[in-house]
Amino acid sequence: MDVLCLSWASQFNSIRQAFGVNSITRVPSVVVDDEIDLFAMMQSIWKQKKLIAATALVMGAIAGAYAFLATPEYEVSTLLRPAALNDLDALNRTEVYSLPPGKALVRVGAALDSYDTRLSYFRANPKLFDAFGRPGQSPEQVFDEFNRDSLKLVQPAPQKADLLSAYIGLEMRYPKGVEGDEILNGFVQYAIENERKQIADDLKVIISNRLSEVDTKLNAARAAYYAAKEGKIATLLEADNLKRAQLQDELKALRVQLKVRREDRIAQLDEAISIARSLGLKKPSTPSSMASEGELGSNIIRTEVNNQQIPLYFMGTDALEAERKALRQRTSDDFADPRVAQIRKELLLLNTNREVEVLNQRTNEEVFLSDIAPLKAERVRLSSISTDMRGLSLVYVDRLAVEPADPVKPKKALIIALGMVVGCLLGVLMAVLRHLLVVRHMHLLRSSPAALSQMTGAAIQPDSPLR
């Protein structure tokens, strides 16, 4: 039994020496019933301060090695603000394209945030992005990583909508060995130039559409003019045809009337010749020349002469037969009525309509178009609008990206400080664990048989707190 107790005592001393406990009297009072003595724990931690300091130094050295060996990352930024009103005045005064400064800034910002614009710039300048790739990565993967991690668009809060606070910022992080300021400034200029080209293309399309609209209105005005002209000519010719037909009908009727009159005259002459022959009147005579034939007859003849004209047969057969012969030999009665000559004159005038002739002989039809002066002026104005937007200032670059003096990552002092703090915490944790192991071992020894108490009692000095 004594040998067993001495063996346990030797093992206990070896455990104390392994954990740095010189004497059992230096071990803080152990707890009973699994309670932890905080004061004893703090004393144990303080006694292990060298271990904690060594752990802190080791972790600080590891953190320092990382801080000095890690690839530095730099950050550049640029700031864009709305352009001045006079920079966009020429474009806005075209009255076909409206672009306020705020809208221009938003357009440029949308271009800077556009995946397509970034990809186009990446493909146009592959040598600038060589340092971003890793072995085995495809260009698409390199760009996707660059677009996701390196570029960031910065905008003001939505409630700050006034012109003074409006801005758009662009930040870029890049590893050492990359011309970050050149990449960022080039990308901003690339996006602005793309927007200028887009505005120029939009302006060309709008002007082309407006010109097409004006040309359509001009063609409509020309078509209306030609339709009105043809309608007027047709109306004039129709009126002439109607008038001509009416005059020809009138002439035909008048000739029939004159022929009937001539035939009636011949019939009258035949009757008068017959009477004149029966009276023996060969030469022209008057009723008074027949008064010698009888008083009574003379009185009757005078009464008739006073009441009516001299009958035709008094002309005598010679005159009447001569007139009848002339009437029978007549081939045309047109000269018998002056209206026939008037109708012929009007028909001759209708052969040529001078108004129609003048309308057909017009050489410059444009001068006769109505309400086309504004359209022509608009067409000239649209044609004179310049679509060259190379000098257009869409935004004001308030701050260009410049090469930074110090990297943003890694922050060496902070990393070393954090490494030492973590080392301290790790050392404290190790000290606490060592203390708990010692306390637990002592608790196990105290819960052993009575022989252990004798062994420990022999080993304990008179001034031990465990006594």
CATH code assigned at 83: 3.30.1890.10
Query: Is residue 252 one of the residues assigned to a domain?
Result: yes
Query: Is residue 465 one of the residues assigned to a domain?
Result: no
Place of tokens 């004039």: 236
| Same-domain check for residues 197 and 278 | no
Of 126, 149, 185, 252, the closest CA to residue 401 belongs to 185
Please tell me which residue, 21 or 150, carries the higher pLDDT value: 150
- What is the pLDDT at residue 27? 39
- What is the pLDDT at residue 237? 94
| Same-domain check for residues 16 and 109 | no
Determine whether 76 is exposed, middle or buried from the number of CB atoms within 10 Å of its CB (0-12, 13-18, 19+): buried
For 161, the token pair is 């909508």
0.85 exceeded by pTM: no
- What is the pLDDT at residue 79? 93
Q: Which of 21-35, 165-179, 237-251, 423-437 is least confident?
A: 21-35
Rounded to whole angstroms, the Cα distance separating 134 from 30 reads 58
| Same-domain check for residues 107 and 174 | yes
CA angle 221, 223, 225 (to 5 degrees): 70
CA dihedral of 192, 194, 200, 203, whole degrees rounded to 10: -90
Determine whether 394 is exposed, middle or buried from the number of CB atoms within 10 Å of its CB (0-12, 13-18, 19+): buried
| Same-domain check for residues 173 and 294 | no
From residue 381, alpha-carbon distances to 207, 374, 375, 384, 392 in Å are 10, 10, 10, 5, 20
Q: Which of 25-29, 157-161, 209-213 is least confident?
A: 25-29
Q: Mean pLDDT, to the nearest integer, of 254-281? A: 91
Please count the structural domains in the chain.
3
| Same-domain check for residues 216 and 236 | yes
| Same-domain check for residues 197 and 274 | no
Query: Is residue 295 one of the residues assigned to a domain?
Result: yes
Span 276-327, pLDDT tens digits: 899 888 888 887 776 555 444 444 444 444 445 788 888 888 998 999 999 9
Span 204-229, pLDDT tens digits: 999 999 999 999 999 999 899 999 99
Q: Say if residue 108's pLDDT is above 80.
A: yes
Rounded to whole angstroms, the Cα distance separating 184 from 158 reads 25
Query: Is residue 422 one of the residues assigned to a domain?
Result: yes
| Same-domain check for residues 221 and 361 | yes
Please tell me which residue, 3 or 262, carries the higher pLDDT value: 262
Average pLDDT, the chain: 81
Query: Is residue 46 one of the residues assigned to a domain?
Result: yes
Q: Say if residue 157's pLDDT is above 90.
A: no
CA dihedral of 416, 421, 427, 428, whole degrees rounded to 10: 170
Percent of the chain at pLDDT above 70? 82
Q: Say if residue 393's pLDDT is above 70.
A: yes
Query: Is residue 467 one of the residues assigned to a domain?
Result: no
| Same-domain check for residues 340 and 233 | yes
| Same-domain check for residues 439 and 362 | no
| Residues 131 and 218 sit within 8 Å (Cβ to Cβ) | no
Measure CA of the first residue to CA of the last residue in the chain; give whole Å.
22
Query: Is residue 294 one of the residues assigned to a domain?
Result: yes
- Provide the domain limits for residue 259: 207-378
- What is the pLDDT at residue 165? 67
- What is the pLDDT at residue 159? 63
Q: Say if residue 234's pLDDT is above 90.
A: yes
- What is the pLDDT at residue 467? 30
| Same-domain check for residues 195 and 303 | no
Span 322-354, pLDDT tens digits: 999 999 998 888 888 899 999 999 999 999 899
Query: Is residue 405 one of the residues assigned to a domain?
Result: no
| Same-domain check for residues 136 and 228 | no
| Same-domain check for residues 124 and 145 | yes
